[in-house]
């Protein structure tokens, strides 16, 4: 069977790289000296794109437009906000993602980041490692607690529900925000984020990025969350107004924040490093070997489905499969 040419937008994990070489003719964008020259030479042959949020490359209309044979964009990740969906849909290019296989991992990491942020766990460890315990002989200062909190889930999809299940076991009252209420959910529903922020003291963002959610968490929401407020972002950097968040943390408008996602990853705003009441993770929500291996397998299985002219396993709803 011939090997379809695939444009890969950046480095992939070894299991994906191996399968790309075995089954396809891969071209790594990050290794190309001259993308324009490559597209002029090979663009008309490219049938597939393999991409992921970690590559930092946006699959924009301008790129898609120059690949006339493109049939599938296989995304390593559940979020696909870096892909121009209207253009893919118009061209009947199928976009696939990796739902479900990362749900529980991201929910686990969310609980970790929440605890790190509220109980200041990484600050306490840094204090210990810096010799402060021995030098001062006093205990680390008492921290805020999860015990007296109520949490609003900003987004209640698959991962939001997995986070909710964990927080229920913690005995924490929950609310959720979305476009419309979901059936059989026992928690209060809000379609007004400022109203939910007024009623809870902790927000966890776990909803898709993209134009519809751009800067959803803005100065008004942070103001409503208030001086005991904690904000956790597991979604995309674009869902929060980062400048407003920095101001809110510095002014005490809210108490603390924990971020796993940022604008301009991986070259994020280094000013964030100077804010003490901010806990930072380098976009590791799903990044265990176990889960990333499953995501890599699904990314490749979708590409293989194209190669074998079978239906894709996990097309996104915006680009339904209608035949290759
Ligand atoms: C990415 C993620 O897949 O799934 C997502 O949407 O944000 C991550 O798990 C990761 O950045 C690799 O591209």
Q: Pocket residues for ligand 1 (CB within 6 Å)?
A: 52-54, 76-79, 102, 283, 285-286
Task: Check whether 1 has a pLDDT greater than 90.
Answer: no
Sequence-ordered list of residues with C-beta below 8 angstroms from that of 98, at least 6 positions apart, any chain = 75, 76, 77, 78, 294, 295, 298, 299, 314
| pLDDT tens column, 103-119 | 999 999 999 999 999 99
Across the range 226-251, mean pLDDT stands at: 98
Cα–Cα distance for residue pair 210/50, rounded to 1 Å: 19
pLDDT tens for each residue of 30-82: 999 999 999 999 999 999 999 999 998 899 999 999 999 999 999 999 999 99
Q: Where does the pLDDT of residue 150 fall: very low under 50, low under 70, confident under 90, or very high at 90 and above?
A: very high
Do 223 and 251 contact (CB within 8 A), yes or no?
no
Q: Report the pLDDT value the prediction gives residue 56, as an integer from 0 to 100.
A: 85
Tens-place pLDDT, residues 282-292:
999 999 999 99
Distance from residue 180's CA to the centre of ligand 1 (Å):
26
Q: In ligand 1, which atom is closest to the CA atom of 97?
A: 4
Span 81-109, average pLDDT: 97
Structural domains in the chain plus CATH codes: 5-101+290-307 (3.40.50.720), 103-280 (3.40.50.720)
Backbone angles phi, psi at 302, to 5 degrees: -65, -40
Q: Would residue 283 show up in a list of annotated catalytic residues for this protein?
A: yes
Alpha carbon separation from 46 to 72, 82, 154, 213, 305 (Å, rounded)? 10, 19, 38, 32, 16
Of ligand 1's atoms, which has the minimum distance to the CA of residue 98?
4
Point out the catalytic residue in the list 149, 236, 242, 292.
236
Beta strands in 147-261 (DSSP E): 151-154, 174-177, 189-190, 202-205, 230-233, 256-259
Pick from 90, 101, 11, 71: which is nearest to 308 by CA?
A: 71
CA distances (Å), origin 81, targets 24, 53, 187, 223:
25, 8, 28, 27
**Mean pLDDT (whole number) for 130-142:** 98
Q: How many Å apart are CA 14 and CA 276, to the nearest integer?
A: 36
How far is ligand 1, taken at its centre, from the CA of residue 52, in Å?
6
Q: Is the pLDDT of residue 219 over 80?
A: yes
265 as an active site residue: the answer is yes
Average pLDDT, the chain: 97
The C-alpha atoms of residue 46 and residue 68 are separated, in whole angstroms, by 8
Tell me: pLDDT of 92 over 90: yes
pLDDT in tens, 255-278: 999 999 999 999 999 999 999 999
Whether 96 has a pLDDT exceeding 80, the answer reads yes
Report whether pLDDT(296) > 80.
yes
DSSP string, 246-266: HHHHHHTSSSEEEES--TTTT
Query: Which residue is it, tokens 């590409």?
Result: 303
Task: Return the best residue to mutate from 77, 80, 108 for the ligand 1 pocket (most ligand atoms within 8 A of CB).
Answer: 77
Q: Is 36 noted as a catalytic residue in this protein?
A: no
Nearest CA among 251, 229, 247, 174 for reference residue 206: 174
Q: Which two tokens stand for residue 41?
A: 């030479």
Instruction: For residue 285, give the nearest of 152, 99, 75, 107 by alpha carbon.
Output: 107
């Amino acid at each position: 069977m011939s090997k379809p040419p695939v444009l890969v937008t950046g480095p992939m994990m070894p299991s994906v790289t191996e399968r790309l070489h075995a089954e396809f003719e891969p071209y790594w964008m990050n290794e190309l000296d001259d993308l324009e020259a490559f597209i002029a030479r090979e663009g008309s042959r490219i049938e597939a794109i393999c991409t992921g949020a970690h590559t930092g490359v946006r699959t924009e209309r301008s790129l898609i437009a120059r690949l006339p044979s493109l049939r599938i964009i296989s995304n390593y990740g559940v979020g696909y906000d870096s892909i121009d969906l209207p253009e893919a849909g118009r061209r009947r290019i199928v976009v696939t993602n990796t739902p479900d296989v990362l749900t529980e991992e991201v929910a686990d990491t969310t609980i970790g980041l929440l605890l790190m942020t509220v109980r200041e766990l990484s600050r306490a460890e840094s204090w210990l490692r810096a010799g402060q315990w021995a030098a001062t002989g006093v205990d680390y200062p008492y921290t805020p607690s999860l015990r007296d909190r109520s949490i609003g889930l900003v987004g209640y999809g698959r991962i939001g529900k997995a986070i909710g299940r964990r927080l229920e076991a913690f005995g924490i009252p929950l609310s959720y925000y979305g476009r419309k209420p979901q059936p059989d959910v026992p928690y209060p529903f809000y379609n007004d984020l400022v109203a939910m922020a007024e009623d809870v003291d902790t927000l966890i963002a776990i909803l898709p990025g993209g134009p519809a959610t751009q800067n959803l968490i803005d100065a008004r929401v942070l103001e409503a969350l208030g001086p005991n407020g904690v904000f956790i972002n597991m979604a995309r950097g674009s869902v929060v107004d980062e400048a407003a968040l920095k101001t809110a943390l510095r002014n005490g408008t809210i108490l603390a924040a924990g971020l796993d996602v940022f604008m301009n990853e991986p070259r994020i705003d280094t000013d964030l490093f100077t804010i003490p009441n901010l806990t930072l993770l380098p976009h590791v929500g799903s990044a265990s070997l176990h889960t990333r291996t499953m995501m890599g397998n699904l990314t490749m299985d979708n590409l293989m489905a194209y190669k074998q002219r079978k239906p894709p396993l996990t097309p996104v709803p915006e680009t339904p499969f209608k035949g290759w």
